[in-house]
Structure formats: C-alpha cells, structure tokens
Chain A
C-alpha cells in the first residue's frame, strides 16, 4: 500500500517538475525500429531467450518480445539491443 502511494507521489512530482518519467519512476524505455530492431534501456536481466522469444526482466514485471531469428546484438548492464524479425512486444506486470 505504501509502495503504491510512494509511486503515486513520484508520478505527481514528475508531472510537476516535467521530468522524464522513466527516470523518476525507474521504468524501462523501449525503442522499436520497424520490426527489425528493438532497444531497451533500464532492464534487469534476461529471463529466457531463444530465437523465437526473449523475456526480459524490467522494473515491476517483464517484457516479452516474440518473433523469429531473434539475437541479442548487444547486452550491457543497463541496455540491451535485439535484432531479428519482431512480431509482438508485450508487457506483463
């Protein structure tokens, strides 16, 4: 309950100061270029990956990217870049 209200408070602060929400709320920022490339900042790790599906842990849930010929082009501690043919991008919170 308190976590939720803290989140509300942060969001209000972000609105008030016009700060980027992903920084204030520590949320992932996802950039999808066509269906070819997907670039995620602020992730928490890889849960599962194969050439059809990649599940990534993000703050508060997970992000599921499915498609074909998926490869992780780059994996860093904060960001991850995925190449391949992307069909769906789905959040599960």
Chain B
C-alpha cells in the first residue's frame, strides 16, 4: 500500500532527521504505534524520514523512549505554504494589488492610433472618434467597435472603410480612403510616337497634327502638338500667342515586328543518356560534415544539379541540410539536317522572336517570311516579319501606354 502522498501534500508533512544509536528501534516503535512513515533513508549519522504533522508529537514521545533526537529539517506541503503566506501578508497584498492594477489599467483604452490614412489628418480622425465616444480613458467594455466604425464612415465621407481593433490598451483605427477615379489629365502636353511605324491615319481631337498619312515616324517623334494657334486676325491686330492645350487624338500606323533565326546544317544535340551519379553531403550549420557517394564523375560530358533540403527544421537550433549533387551523363549527337529541315528550324526560331515582341491584343495583319544569308558557312537564316496596325500616339509625359 502506498501512502496518499497527495493528501499529505495538502495537509502538510515534515522531513525529520533522527539522530541516535537505535534508529531502527525508533522506527519499529513508530510502526507499532501505527504512525505512517515514508521515504526513510539512512544518512551517515542520522536517518531522514517523512511523517505527517499530527503524528509529530507522538514521534517525539517515541524518540524519548528510544533515546533518539528529532530535528525538523523541512516543512513541506500546502498547509505550511499558506501559513507562510499568512505570515507574509504584505507580499500577498502587494501581489494582489499588482494583478488588480494591471487588470484594471488594461481594461481601459489608453491610446488611440490611426493607420492607413494618406490624405486625411490622423488628428481629424481621432477627433471624430472622440466625438463618437472613443477617446483615451474610455473603458473597453463600453466601446462598440462596429458601431464606432459605422459612425466614423458616416462622419467622414472620404473614408471607404473603417476597422477598429484593440491591441492591448491601444485602439487602432484602420482606415481606407476612397480612391477617386483618375481624372483626365488637363495639363497641356503633346502626343508622341510610342514606336516606329508608317502613319496611315491621323485623327486630331485637340491640338495640331504634325504628321500626315504616309510619313514614317520613329519612336518619340512628336505626332500631335498640344497647342492652338489662332489664325491671323482679319483686321490686322497682332496674332495672339499660341494657347497650350492637351493634345488628344489617335495616330494609326503600320508597325512591324521582326525576328531573325538561324539554324546550322549540322546541329549538335545534347541528349541525356539517363545515367547519373549522386553525391550526398550532410551540411551542419553550412559546414560539410559527411559526404557519401562517388566523388569522381565517370562521364566525359555531364550536367550537374544540386538540391538542398533542410532537415529537422525547427527541431535543432542550427540548420542541418542535405545537399544532393547529381551529375547526369550527356551524349553529344551531331545531327545532319537537310536544308529544308534546317530552314524550318530557323523559321521557328525567328517566329518565336518576332511574336514575343508583339503587344497583347494586337491583330497581325500579314506575315512575311524571307530567307536571309547568314553570312556563315553551314547556316541557314530566316527573317520573320509581322505587320500590325496600331494607335501609336501616347502622352509624352505618361510612362507607358
């Protein structure tokens, strides 16, 4: 039978040292009296044992009979802890006071901060929030966050969304301002060419056209000038100054995109044979520790790949990685192409280059594929030209299209 240790942990027990010649006798006496003892261990001079508090007086009586001396080494258990705390009342009161103060202070809003505003002044939003009842010093339980967010949106029409959240004692009002639709640029400016092309149609809404259909324009060239020049007055008064306006209009032009590709009549292909060797390296904290695998690569031509994978992430305090380096054997195979095949290959490369320049959403009007002498022996060259029609006018001060 084990003694109910949990019970004694609550009611309290004593650790007693017994000094004397006949500690066995003392123990047997206690046993006969039915006093439960536990954890009896023999020290060099004395025995140490645990006993509950109530039986200590009986034990003292027995000690006198057996000629032993008792000394209390330690008082343990909840009962002693409580009595110690009662003796140190000030500490307990201070502790309770601290916890209560912390709890009380943390249940108030002490700071109000505003996030996400760009145009609206934070102070202004804070004032609106204070009008709605959220100012520093307000207890948290009196705040209705959704209600506050609603009131702020109603009070300030510039706000599109308001979120209120508590971060400890700080109330964070997160706002999102309304984004006004971009208004048309009213500043004076010219229209210039976005790319090279052959103009075939000019449509001016405001400004003066500086190109005519049939003109070749290069990128950046002025197309429509943002100025109004009134005609000379009939009555001979002075010609008024040109008025700067925003140039508007469209300039449609034929635009070409071209790509050039070559192919050798004898192409070397690199074909993986499927054979490979791998070397595994264990890295600890970036240092190679263990290397397993073939160090020498038995291939003449090969491609390497290395994969690092972290092991035991989050378990060990330093990074452990496994580096797998694989070498794949490559066989070079020379392939003699028929001129027709080589031309097809070159055309494919040229087409890819040309089409990759094409802007999205532009229809190709015509495609011209021409052979071109690459100027090298054993090669075939192909030029691939795409023709489109686009509006190439753009604002000179705008970044893109």
Contact = CB atoms under 8 A, between A and B. Distances in A.
Nearest to A57: B28
A51 B38 contact: no
A77 interface: yes
B31 interface: yes
Contact of B42 (A49, A74, A79): A49
Contacts of B49: 72
A23 interface: no
A18 interface: no
Interface in A20-52: 45-51
A74 B41 CA distance: 11
B32 interface: yes
A58 to B, nearest CB: 13
B24 A71 contact: no
Interface residues of A, number: 17
Interface of A: 45-51, 70-77, 79, 81
A45 B39 CA distance: 16
Given A49-B47, A74-B2, A79-B1, 20 more contacts: A45-B28, A46-B27, A46-B28, A49-B24, A49-B27, A70-B41, A72-B27, A72-B37, A72-B38, A72-B40, A72-B41, A72-B49, A74-B36, A75-B27, A75-B31, A75-B37, A75-B38, A76-B31, A76-B34, A77-B32
B3 interface: yes
Contact of B2 (A49, A70, A81): A81
Residue with the highest number of chain B CB atoms closer than 10 Å, among A50, A51, A73, A81: A73
Contacts of B30: 75
12 contacts: A46-B24, A46-B31, A49-B42, A70-B41, A72-B27, A72-B39, A73-B40, A74-B36, A74-B37, A75-B38, A77-B34, A79-B1
Contacts of B47: 49
Given A49-B42, A51-B41, A51-B42, A74 B1 contact: yes
Interface of B: 1-3, 24, 27-28, 30-32, 34, 36-42, 47, 49
A8 B47 CA distance: 41
Instruction: Sort A-B residue pairs by CB-CB distance and give the 8 closest, nearest first.
Output: A72-B40, A71-B41, A45-B28, A50-B42, A75-B37, A74-B38, A46-B24, A51-B42
Contacts of A73: 2, 38-40
Nearest to A69: B41
Contacts of A51: 41-42
A89 B27 CA distance: 21
B55 to A, nearest CB: 12
Given A74-B2, A79-B1, A45 B31 contact: yes
A82 B125 CA distance: 75
A75 B36 contact: yes
Nearest to A53: B42
B42 to A, nearest CB: 5
B209 to A, nearest CB: 104
A79 B36 CA distance: 11
A30 to B, nearest CB: 15
A78 B32 CA distance: 9
A49 B48 CA distance: 12
Contacts of B27: 46, 49, 72, 75
B48 to A, nearest CB: 9
Contact of A71 (B2, B28, B34, B39): B39
Given A47-B24, A51-B41, A77 B31 contact: yes
Nearest to B48: A71
Given A47-B24, A77-B32, A77-B34, A71 B40 contact: yes
B247 to A, nearest CB: 97
B40 A75 contact: yes
B32 to A, nearest CB: 7
A49 B28 CA distance: 11
B41 A48 contact: no
Contacts of B28: 45-46
